Amino acid sequence: MIHYTKDNDNIAIISFDNSNSSVNVIDSNVITELDQRVSEAIADASVKGIIVTSSKKDFMLGADLKMIMGINNPVQIMSIAKSLHAVFRKMETGKKPVVAAINGTALGGGYEICLACHYRIAVNDSKIQIGLPEVLLGLLPGGGGTQKLPRMIGIQEALPLLLEGRKLRPEQALKSGLVNQLVDSQEQLIPAAKAWIVNIGKSVQPWDEEGFKIPGGGIQSPKILQMLPAAAGLTLKKTYGNYPAPAAILNCIYEGLQLPIDRASVVECRYFTQCVLSPESKNMIRTLFINMNEANKGEARPAGIPPTNLKKVGILGAGMMGAGIAYVAASNGLNVVLKDVTKEAAEKGKEYSVKLLSEKLSKNQISKEKYDELLGRIHTTGNPADMAGCDLVIEAVFENRDLKATVTKESEAVLTANAVFASNTSTLPITGLAKASARPKNFIGLHFFSPVDKMQLVEIILGKQTSDYAIAMAIDFVKKIKKTPIVVNDGRGFFTSRVFSTYLFEGMECLAEGVSPALIENAGKMAGMPVGPLALADEVSIELCYKINKQTEADTGKKSEAAAVGVINKFIEELHRPGKKANKGFYEYPEGGKKVLWTELTKLYPVLSQQPDVAEIKKRLLYIQALEAVKCLEENIITKPADGDIGSILGWGFAPYTGGVISFIDCIGIKKFVNECNSLAKKYGKRFKPTRRLKEMAAEGKNFYQEKVVEVLEVSN
């Protein structure tokens, strides 16, 4: 796990190098071995100082989250945390100067190792990230981060880094005080560390010095006493109490920074243990780390297919989606042919890349050479023949079958036999669109989310004839552009659009029933959704919902009687309020001001004199999505719970603290979920009726995941 050497200058070098993994992470074995290496260096009277570094690309990526995921015993968690603190204190108090030579990314526990050193030097490489992002997975820094960072840079400066989990580039880390020095190259790193040991060689941490005071004021200073309650209020406003980790971090800071460092460490260990045992952290670690890493590695890629090695991508349609896809493709080394009806229209789409790259250039995030190179990768055209030579063509034209069929045939006429054609449709079944293709085996769906440059998910949709080769190329492409893929089977709305729409529709059902619009919106946000359902309907376009409904009715021959559909029809056919794009929908959008709920809403849909409890609305908004996700799983639209969880969080922002739509059910307990669905069905209609399989699982005491999430919930309570 760790190399130990002593050079001719009698400087000990401790280098992390986990032989069982491509990256370094902290587990019980690493803690034990680090303790041994530090003890060896301290005991050697000839050692002048210690350099802590890594033999791998990254310094240390934090704790072994799979290990944390598997621990449900609070005594065991406390023991591991305390042993880590003990090693760090040995480094700090061993009377040998210790330097962190940060050769690569240092996050979480990896950066806490650096905090235990007396000096920190990093390579000034923009690919390196430094910080304490544990809060993003429902945890808090458990190796001294909540106690040492505020003592080092000040409480006010440390709070955003701890509460938001910010990851800083080396230059930002230097400015913020997380590192003390930068070097330009890897070759300069160890010599710089040695020079500091020889010339400075300080071996006492600031918090161990007599008369130490926290920079900017301690807990009892007037400035901090005013700031902490405000920070607590803002945190509650942002999280609605759904995430225990931010509150635990604030408690650690308030309680711990009034104590000596060793007693403060015990406070941190206790709160860390609480967070580890919380269902929120278990859910978030499983979905946002373990399962997402598997997806990012291409776990769904068919075996036996050689790498497809994409070099050139064609994009049909230079609107918002096509322009976004062109940007991310070019930014990741691919040559792009961006086609629209005319070259002039395609150039307008390229302007999106010009805008984003110009912003990066102005902030010195890229060089002028890189700027020119990336824009030079995007070739605009109005000629279908320019698709020749493309390995993959992505159609991103309007949701019109005839138009999609036309561009499919035009492109396939000039493509090689191995080229793959993909549709960016969000709702139209891929098998039906593939009928226009001369080679349906090489036809697939690639559903991007807007804005493409920011949204992480790509939903890969398989038609009935889609080949393994096409799947492999789609996954290779998604990996190439650094997005997260989930693979789903064909069906109306696929997975994301189908389940996401239930959130919008349930909000409209509530509106039609006379629930206050403000209550609907606030309940959505309090449940953990990014925005309320009415605001989100405006964002995605009420008109789009209308068109999808009409297309569905035409395709199925069935007319929906749902109250939500009636609301949508009224807003389009009678009121002509299509949403945000027209500055009028459920909200009004005054020029230069914030959006406000349309004042006429309560006249169209008079509010009930007795409003439902907010908990009831929250339950409706979350349960309806979870139920639809289960139906997708049972119908084989998604083939495993992990895809549903990843897709729901990354695709439309389903409450991350739940771990996703499927984990949400496990966390509640399937038996309880079924009972509450039955109750909701009696009140609001059959759309809430649990499926037969859900009832069977409840009777059998089964979960979707093997981990005993419900028992964890009971323990933590």
**SS3 category, 58:** coil
Q: Is the model's pLDDT at 716 over the cut of 70? A: no
Domain range list for the chain: 2-277, 312-491, 496-520+533-614
Q: What is the pTM of this model?
A: 0.91
Distance between CA atoms of 604 and 238, rounded to whole angstroms?
A: 31
Residue 373 pLDDT greater than 60, yes or no: yes
Q: Catalytic residues, which ones?
A: 459
Residue 708 confidence (pLDDT) above 60 = no
Beta strands in 546-693 (DSSP E): 587-588, 596-597
Mean pLDDT of all residues in the chain? 94
336-346: per-residue pLDDT in tens? 999 999 999 99
Architecture of the 2-277 domain: Alpha-Beta Complex (3.90)
The pLDDT score that the predictor gives to residue 20 is: 81
**pLDDT(714) > 80:** no
- Size of the chain, expressed as the number of residues it contains: 717
Measured from the Cβ of residue 169, the count of other Cβ atoms closer than 10 Å reads 18
What is residue 18's predicted lDDT score, i.e. its pLDDT? 87
Torsion angle defined by CA atoms of residues 32, 33, 38 and 41, in that order, rounded to the nearest 10 degrees: 140
The more confidently predicted of residues 710 and 579 is 579
Q: Are 504 and 545 within 8 A, CB to CB? A: yes
Confidence tier at 427 by pLDDT (50, 70, 90):
confident
> How many Å apart are CA 400 and CA 550, to the nearest integer?
13
At residue 707, the pLDDT reads 47
Kindly list the distances between the CA atom of residue 48 and the CA atoms of 35, 63, 198, in Å, as whole numbers in the listed order: 18, 29, 8
Q: CA-CA distance, 288 to 648, in Å (whole number)?
A: 11
Q: How far apart are CA 482 and CA 484, in angstroms?
A: 7
Instruction: Say if residue 713's pLDDT is above 80.
Output: no
What CATH architecture is 496-520+533-614?
Orthogonal Bundle (1.10)
pLDDT tens-digit profile of 592-614?
889 999 999 999 999 999 999 99
Q: How far apart are CA 127 and CA 171, in angstroms?
A: 11
- Kindly state the DSSP code that residue 298 receives in the 8-state scheme: T
DSSP three-state, residue 74: helix
Helix (H) or strand (E) holding 680: helix 670-684
For residue 122, list its beta bridge partners.
Answer: 102, 182
Angle between helices 533-540 and 517-526 (to 10 degrees): 90
pLDDT at 712 over 50: no
Percentage of the residues of the chain whose pLDDT score is greater than 90: 91
Fold observed for domain 312-491: Rossmann fold (3.40.50)
Q: Is residue 704 over pLDDT 60?
A: yes
- Rounded to 5 degrees, what angle do the CA atoms 236, 239, 244 make? 85
E strand intervals along 28-110: 49-54, 98-102, 106-107
Helix, strand, or coil (residue 449) = coil
Of the pLDDT bands very low, low, confident and very high (cuts 50, 70, 90), residue 709 is very low
Bridge partners (DSSP) of residue 121 are 101, 181
Task: Give the pLDDT band (50/70/90) at residue 552.
Answer: confident
Q: What is the DSSP string of 203-259?
A: ---GGGSTT---TT--TTSHHHHHHHHHHHHHHHHHHTT--HHHHHHHHHHHHHTTS
Peptide bond into 656 cis (omega under 30): no
Residue 710's pLDDT band (cuts 50, 70, 90):
very low
Residue 703 banded pLDDT, cuts 50, 70, 90: very high
For residue 508, name the pLDDT band (cuts at 50, 70, 90).
Answer: very high
pLDDT category, 399, cuts 50, 70, 90?
Answer: confident
Tens digit of each residue's pLDDT (9 = 90 or more) over 93-122: 999 999 999 999 999 999 999 999 999 999
Distance separating the N- and C-terminal Cα atoms of the chain = 37
Report the alpha-carbon distance of residue 652 to residue 536 in Å, rounded: 10
Measuring CA to CA, which residue among 254, 295, 258, 252 is closest to residue 274? 252
pLDDT average, residue stretch 274-285 = 94
How large is the average pLDDT for residues 254-263? 96
Residue 80 pLDDT > 50: yes
Q: Do domains 312-491 and 496-520+533-614 have the same CATH topology?
A: no
Q: Where are the alpha helices (DSSP H) in 278-382?
A: 279-285, 292-296, 320-331, 343-362, 368-376
Q: CB under 8 Å to 254, separation ≥6 — which residues?
A: 219, 228
Residue 222: alpha-carbon gap to chain centroid? 37
The answer on pLDDT for 531 being more than 60 is yes
Q: How many Cβ atoms are within 10 Å of 529's Cβ, its own excluded? A: 23
- Do the beta carbons of residue 510 and residue 563 sit within 8 Å? no
Which two structure tokens, joined as six digits, stand for 187?
């070759």
